[in-house]
Structures are given as C-alpha cells and as structure tokens.
C-alpha cells in the first residue's frame, strides 16, 4: 500500500503511477518484513507522515516491541494516530504466539483519558 505525499490518499494499486485523487506522482510506501531464525529482532520504529497541519503532523505510525507486565511476555505494539481522518487504531500482539491481547479502532476525538491525558489523582 502507498499513500499520496500531496493529499494523503491511500492507494492499493501497486502499479499506479499517479494519485487518482490529485494527480501527484510522489508517494509514501509502506514496507514490511518478516525475519525468522534463532535469536530475536528488536523492533523500534517511529514514522511520521504528511505535512504539518495546525503545527502538528497529521499522521503518526508507531511500531515497537515492549514487555507487557500484565501478560508477562513481549508484545508488538502497532499504533496509528490519524488527525486528518479522525482515527485512532492500536493493536497489541504477543510475540511468541501472535495472539492479539488488545485492539482499539475508534474516532480520535473519542480517544481521551488515556496515557498522558489521564486525569491526575
């Protein structure tokens, strides 16, 4: 999948040379890889897409590997914050068996009171 660098339109056609929405010819391309073998791969990735709008990036994609103390195992956290489309998605998946232990897909405006936005006691 790729995303138009100009308007943010998501394009699922790999052979598309220009954005069908605005005609722009530069894209952000999402690339994924899978590694197998002995040992472990440390995943630490933080990407920000798009131009700034009102002083903030309109789309943030965060993928990281961390330890989950509730389940006592390593997990992959895959999170996207899309301010332009008012969308928040987050998936937490166990590394060992791939089981999803948390999934959230909701309007960003409804995602309040979490993380650093929690009310102080």
3-state DSSP assignment of residue 64: strand
Per residue in 6-16, pLDDT (tens digit) is 787 887 776 77
Per-residue confidence (pLDDT) for residue 30, from 0 to 100: 63
* Per-residue model confidence (pLDDT) at position 106: 92
In the chain the first and final C-alpha atoms are separated, in Å, by 43
Mean pLDDT of 97-103: 93
- The torsion angles phi and psi of 117, rounded to 5 degrees, stand at -90, 5
Average pLDDT, stretch 35-47?
49
């Amino acid at each position: 999948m790729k995303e138009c660098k100009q308007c943010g339109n998501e394009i699922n056609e790999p052979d598309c040379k220009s954005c069908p929405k605005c005609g722009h010819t530069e894209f952000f391309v999402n690339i994924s890889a899978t590694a197998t073998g002995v040992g472990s791969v440390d995943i630490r990735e933080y990407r920000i897409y798009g131009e700034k709008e009102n002083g903030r990036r309109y789309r943030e994609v965060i993928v990281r590997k961390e330890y989950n103390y509730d389940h006592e195992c390593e997990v992959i956290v895959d999170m996207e914050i899309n301010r332009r489309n008012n969308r928040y998605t987050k998936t937490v998946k166990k590394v060992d068996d791939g089981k999803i232990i948390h999934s959230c897909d909701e309007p960003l405006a409804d995602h309040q009171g979490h993380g650093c936005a929690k009310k102080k006691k």
